[in-house]
Structure 1
Amino acid sequence: MKKFFTKVLLAFVAIISFSVVSFHETDAHAASFTSVYQTAKNYLGTPYVYGATGPTSFDCSGFTSYVYKKAAKVTLPRTAQAQYNKYDHVSAKTAEKGDLVFFGASKLSISHVGMYIGNGKMIDAQNRGVVIEKINAPWWNAVGYAHVTDLD
């Protein structure tokens, strides 16, 4: 009888645990581009500091990581190169609002990341702080885009 109650208790704990995990996974995908973008816009003008992860200063990948964690509960890798390496790449033509856009000398030398916001623009943290700017600026060499998560 004791074994039976132990098995029932363990089954109950397992069901509750799976429910909690499923809820958190669903919750991460329930974020909208509007909420992610609004979170990012809240930091416009925040200063750039190399290695900073927010919220009072950011570097580029610290900014994208912070925004996705806060607004969508998605944890991104720490560096721009690691973010580029982790996610599925998409073309500029198929990039969606909220996708990441990467810059550098090549796919093996990513030095900057921003978040695509549509109409050829991104929001990013760079030497002027957090700004909205064109992706095709003369000082950037766009290497590619990556899709982090589906946004509503």
Structure 2
Amino acid sequence: MLIAINPSSKVSANSNSTSYDSVLKTAKKHLGARYVWGATGPTRFDCSGFTKYVYKKSIKKSIPRTAQQQYNHTKKVSKSNIKKGDLVYFGGSKHSISHVGMYIGNGKMIDSQNRGVVVEKVYAPWWHVVGFSRPVNLTY
């Protein structure tokens, strides 16, 4: 079998369809947005509404609505393998997740919580990390 490849039809590794830069840009655009329980954007968010919105708006990736559903239905990764754009989950246990944020590197995340959409440390004293997941493989 012979397959012809047209060099002008290359797919860029940095295509917006899977680019971390696109995800981060969308997330940062909403810094300061108000927290409202149950809100899914574009001007107010709860934690999982924010992560769902960012992935859908930036790269057309649909993820489940709640933090628990996002954890249950995305590929788990270990703390040692976390990458920018992965999701970080908090709560009492892996079966009792109450919060989610998006990892942005250097031990920080963007999340929507009582202070609104903010950048903060993943390992802040008020959070108990219970797991990590990768909703999609992103290019960097």
- Answer whether TM exceeds 0.5 for this pair: yes
Partner-residue secondary structure (3-state), 1:122: strand
| Structure 1 unpaired stretches of 5+ | 1-27
Q: Distance in 1 between matches of 2:26 and 2:16?
A: 16
Whether contact under 8 Å (2:52, 2:65) holds in the other structure is yes
Bigger Rg, which one: 1
Query: Please, what TM-score do these two structures have when normalized by structure 2?
Result: 0.87
Q: Distance in 1 between matches of 2:83 and 2:17?
A: 16
Query: Please, what TM-score do these two structures have when normalized by structure 1?
Result: 0.80
2:77 equivalent to 1:90: yes
Corresponding residue of 1:58? 45
Whether contact under 8 Å (1:37, 1:98) holds in the other structure is yes
2:65 equivalent to 1:78: yes
**Deviation digits for residues 42-65 of structure 1 (CA, Å, limit 9, x no counterpart):** 000000000000011000000000
Corresponding residue of 2:10? none
- % identity of equivalent residues: 63
Q: Distance in 2 between matches of 1:49 and 1:36?
A: 22
Aligned match for 2:26, one of 39, 44, 62:
39
Q: What amino acid sits opposite 2:59 in the alignment?
A: A
Whether contact under 8 Å (1:29, 1:151) holds in the other structure is no
| Structure 2 unpaired stretches of 5+ | 1-14
